[in-house]
Structure 1
Amino acid sequence: MKIGLGLPIANPTALLTWARLADDGPFSTLGLLDRLVYDNPEPLVTLATLAGATRRVRLQTEVLLAPLRQAPLLAKQAATLAQLSGNRFTLGIGVGGREDDHAAAGTELQRRGQVLDEQLELVHRLWSGEPHGDSAGPIGPAVRPEVLFGGFRPKAVDRVGRWGDGFLAAGPLEYMETTFALARMSWQAHGRPGEPRLVGQLNTAIGPEEVAGEARTEMTRYYGDENFANAMVTTPATLRAQLSHLESLGADEAVLYCWSPNPDQVNHLADLIS
């Protein structure tokens, strides 16, 4: 099972350091979350910057809130990042459930799933080189990035078999077991060969207590609920146990999402997984 890093958002200026350390270490992927009404770096711009600062590690949105964006521009941005990074970009997609994000973007919260399905049909046509429509031609580059879906409901997970390459799960391990099974069922129901790629996210802060405290503060500020932070993995023994459990569920990759911006986290985690 591969191990990736979820990048912290509290100090964007430190992300180049994180990326270079991860690229020199044992990590497979750098993931970055997405919000609109929040003080986080925009993920496509940020990952493009990190792609230029790294050689081999993959770049991944976890997850990009696609309904907040225009589909033709999103298709062009994602394809460009895949092309210029040497096909190291994975587009993780979700719908987003925060009312303020959709209010700022001028989108309808209740239609976000329908909007995403419409977007997916269009971006896949554009990635294959087809014209936009009767009044506009192809929108290059004709490059399709790897696509993973995140979500919590069966209808959301079913997009894996319809449109994607795999599923990105967050939350408790028992939830991941359920959604991994739904992703496999969707894959089979849509007649896809092989197996979907399955990725699990673990919120992690390893090191001195002040690092874990800082991570809990940042996570609580982001989610607005301290219960999420209370479930954070903070000890090596717990991390090893959860990684072993995740691997037993059939995960191809675990992404350790680090909420503390301290770059020492990269070295701590590298030592644990090496």
Structure 2
Amino acid sequence: MHVGLGLPISDPVALLDWARRADAGPFSTLGLLDRLVYDNPEPLVALALLAGATSRIKLQTEVLIAPLREPTLLAKQVATLDRMSGGRFVLGLGVGGRADDHLASGTDLHTRGRRLDEQLEIMRRVWSGQPYGPDCGPIGPAPLLPDGPEVLFGGFQPPALDRVGRWGGGFLAAAPAAWAGRLFDTVRKSWADHGRSGAPRIVAQVNVALGDRNLIDEARASMGGYYEFSGRADYMLDGMLTTPGAIRSAIEQFDDLGADEVMLYCYGGDAGQVDRLADVIA
């Protein structure tokens, strides 16, 4: 079982400290969420900077809202980050669900799933080195592998889960262990139905805050603001784990379900959490 660290978004400059501490510790991956109409760092830019500040740890979008972006430029950005990080970049993708993000990007909220599938076809073609079209040559640089970096898909609806089998890669599950198992089973069935060999990589996500009461209150306020749009902020806050025992138990539950990695997602800004969480998983 690998354990990664989801980075807070409140202070982009502080993420360099988080990344260096995590790179020196037992963590497998750094994750960063994506929004457009929100006070958060743009994840591809931020992770590129963190790639230069680290040497070992993977860097992962959780998840990049692809339909907000133009696919050929996105393919080029992803391939560049893949190459320059030495293959440490993992592309987590999703469709998003916030109307303001799509309004600001000039994209259609109601066709975002279909747009993601079209984008994946374009990006895979770009990464393979084929000419973009009859009057347009290849778009470089080439990623380290012809299919591009590892791709994870987030989501809960059947079309989102089925993308794992159709496109390969893995599944990013932002769901509690109590019902994540059903999602895992659906993803594994999609993988088999599409004739994939091996098994999908499954990554779970757990929201945590580890520190004093001020830190926990700060984390709850930040997380509550992020999920306010959904009308389910209280439910999400109830799932935040704030003790070493609860965090260890969640990791064990996902291990029992066959997850390959658990991302401990932080909303509190104190970088000392990196060291405290390292002690928990050690």
Residue aligned with 1:120, SS: helix
Paired residues, what number? 274
Could you tell me how far 1:16 is from its partner in structure 2?
Answer: 0.1
Is 2:250 the counterpart of 1:242? yes
Residue 53 of structure 1 corresponds to 53
Give the structure 2 partner of residue 167 of structure 1. 171
How far residue 209 of structure 1 moved from its aligned partner, in angstroms, is 1.5
CA distance in 2, matches of 1:71, 1:26: 34
TM-score of the aligned structures, taking structure 2 as reference length: 0.96
Residue 254 of structure 1 corresponds to which residue in structure 2?
262
Give the structure 1 partner of residue 85 of structure 2.
Answer: 85
The Cα of 1:226 is off from its aligned counterpart by: 2.8
* Contact 2:34 2:42 (8 Å CA) reproduced: yes
Code of the aligned partner of 2:248:
R
Percent of counterpart pairs with the same letter? Answer: 60
Give the whole-Å Cα distance in 2 for the aligned partners of 1:60 and 1:164: 17
- Please tell me whether residue 26 in structure 1 is matched to residue 26 in structure 2: yes
Bigger mean CA deviation after superposition, 48-57 or 129-138: 129-138
The TM-score normalised by the length of structure 1 is 0.99
1:160, 1:255 → 2: CA distance? 19
What SS does the aligned partner of 1:30 have? strand
Asked if the contact 2:168–2:196 (Cα under 8 Å) also holds between the matched residues in 1, the reply is no
Match of 2:208 among 204, 209, 226: 204
Aligned structure 1 segments of 4 or more residues deviating by more than 6 angstroms: none
CA deviation vs aligned residue, 1:227-256 (integer Å, no higher than 9, x gap): 211210011111111110000000000000
Aligned with 2:54: secondary structure? coil
Whole-Å separation in 1 of the counterparts to 2:179 and 2:47 = 28
SS of equivalent residue, structure 1 residue 133: coil
**RMSD of aligned residue pairs (Cα, Å):** 0.8
Give 3-state SS (helix, strand or coil) of 2:180's partner. helix
Q: Residue 149 of structure 1 contacts residue 164 of structure 1 at CA under 8 Å; is this kept in 2?
A: no
Amino acid aligned to 1:249: L
Report the equivalent of 1:189: 193
CA contact (8 A) 1:204 1:233 kept: yes
**Following TM superposition, by how much is the alpha carbon of 1:171 offset from its aligned partner in structure 2, in angstroms?**
2.1
Give, as a single letter, the amino acid of the residue that structure 2 aligns with 1:268.
R
Aligned counterpart, 1:43: 43
**Equivalent residue of 2:219, what SS?**
helix
Which amino acid in the other structure matches residue 209 of structure 1? Answer: R
**Can you list the C-alpha shifts for 1:170-191, whole angstroms capped at 9, x where unaligned?**
0221232111111101110111
What residue ranges of structure 2 are gaps of 5+ in the alignment?
Answer: none
